[in-house]
Amino acid sequence: MDVITLGESMVLLSPDSNGPLRYINRFNKMIGGAESNVAVALTRLGHRVGWVSKLGKDEFGIYIRNVIRGEGVDTSQVLFDENYSTGVFFKERTVGRDPNIYYYRHNSAASKLSAEDIVPSYFQQAKFVHLTGITAALSSTSKEAIKRVVNLVKRNENQYLVFDPNIRLKLWSEEEAQEVLNDIAKECDIVMPGIDEGKLLTGESEPEKIAQFYLEKGTSLVVVKLGAKGAYFATQSEDGYVPGFPVKEIVDTVGAGDGFAAGVISGLLRGWNYYDSIRLGNRIGARALSVEGDFEGYPYWDEIDPNHSNTRVTR
């Protein structure tokens, strides 16, 4: 296994037109979930990926498992809960702005994921383990599940923890998010906050200072996502800005950050340096912007521009 990721996926009901949901009558059924987005993107890029989660033993749960399994992701560690339902959320589309999101995930099956559900031998086979702050925000038991995974991976020198804060303030307060997410981040090898997340978590507004905050806590690589401007990265020995890719028409911003994470991990798995891995992340994230849905726009490896060479450029 190249990568294992853990977290909740929900059924996404996306309206077929713009405007307040009170006036919408028709919705398209899709899937939304940061971690499963990363899993699908990496699988399309040619990697072996496992996704760990818990779903309701209901039609929505079976639908999610089947679609993600159909993408080639290993779902052998996806559990079904008879007592709790699969989460659901809605998008509300407004022209010229990011969509409003309405969650119906309280007491979802995924929020009942616990440390006891984690199988150590499964996680030990991965080169990279990808986590997000969303899982820690769902419940106290899911937060403990994250901590167990972190402790398992930290014992193995040949595994790397990748952490995307992915802050969802609808799930908890800024104060709690800051404390819990920074505690997780300091245990991880790679931390990838967005610029606004970095400001909230560190109190710093400049990418260089955000990166330095985590480097001083022991993180090996910090990547600060800068939207259309690309990304900034830093280690103890090198740093640099990696420009983004232009997008002619932005259809849906959801899933771009997850595609970015998948691209970075894919580059590192291929032995590329940091600059080129992040450049691939920018490419995958840009592709996601042009298609509606969470993972629908992610490319397959043979669709990547052949001019995307792994030229070694660092400073």
Which residues touch 28 (CB under 8 Å, ≥6 apart)? 13, 14, 15, 16
How many Å from the N-terminal Cα to the C-terminal Cα in the chain? 32
Which residues touch 183 (CB under 8 Å, ≥6 apart)? none
pLDDT-derived band at 312, boundaries 50, 70, 90: very low
Pick the closest to residue 315 from 209, 238, 254, 248 (CA basis): 238
Which residues touch 152 (CB under 8 Å, ≥6 apart)? 118, 120, 123, 124
Q: How far is CA 7 from CA 132, 137, 144, 311, in A?
A: 8, 11, 13, 34
pLDDT in tens, 52-71: 999 999 999 999 999 999 99
Residue pair 310/270 in contact (Cβ under 8 Å)? The answer is: yes
Strand pairing of 190-191 and 160-164? parallel
pLDDT in tens, 110-157: 999 999 999 999 999 899 999 999 999 999 999 999 999 999 998 888
pLDDT-derived band at 287, boundaries 50, 70, 90: confident
Annotated catalytic residue within 117, 258, 276, 294: 258
pLDDT in tens, 3-39: 999 999 999 999 989 999 999 999 999 999 999 999 9
Radius of gyration of the chain (CA): 18
Q: What is the pLDDT of residue 99?
A: 78
- Over residues 220-243, the mean pLDDT reads 95
**Does residue 313 register a pLDDT over 50?**
no
Q: Which domains does the chain have, with CATH numbers?
A: 3-8+35-52+118-303 (3.40.1190.20)
Q: Does the annotation count 164 as an active-site position?
A: no
Q: Is the Cα dihedral 74, 77, 82, 85 positive or negative?
A: negative
Question: How are strands ordered across the β-sheet holding 27-32?
Answer: 27-32, 10-15, 88-92, 100-104
Pick the closest to residue 281 from 293, 265, 299 (CA basis): 265
Residue pair 233/243 in contact (Cβ under 8 Å)? The answer is: no
User: What does the alpha-carbon distance between residue 117 and residue 287 come to, in Å, rounded to a whole number?
Assistant: 34
- What percent of the chain shows pLDDT beyond 70? 93
Lowest mean pLDDT among 21-35, 79-93, 237-251: 237-251
**Does residue 315 register a pLDDT over 60?**
no
Q: What is the pLDDT of residue 304?
A: 84
SS3 category, 212: helix
**Does residue 296 register a pLDDT over 70?**
yes
Average pLDDT, the chain: 91
User: What does the alpha-carbon distance between residue 76 and residue 66 come to, in Å, rounded to a whole number?
Assistant: 11
User: What does the alpha-carbon distance between residue 274 and residue 34 come to, in Å, rounded to a whole number?
Assistant: 22
Q: What is the pLDDT of residue 100?
A: 87
**Does residue 307 register a pLDDT over 70?**
no
Tokens (6 digits) for 286: 């840009």
- Pick the more confident residue, 302 or 213: 213
Phi/psi at 143 (5° precision): -65, -40
Q: What is the pLDDT of residue 311?
A: 43
Which residues touch 168 (CB under 8 Å, ≥6 apart)? 133, 134, 137
Find the DSSP H helices in the chain: 34-44, 59-70, 120-123, 133-138, 140-154, 174-185, 195-202, 207-215, 256-269, 274-289
Number of H helices, E strands in the chain: 10, 13
- Pick the more confident residue, 80 or 249: 80
Residue pair 53/108 in contact (Cβ under 8 Å)? The answer is: no
**Does residue 256 register a pLDDT over 90?**
no
Q: What is the pLDDT of residue 294?
A: 72
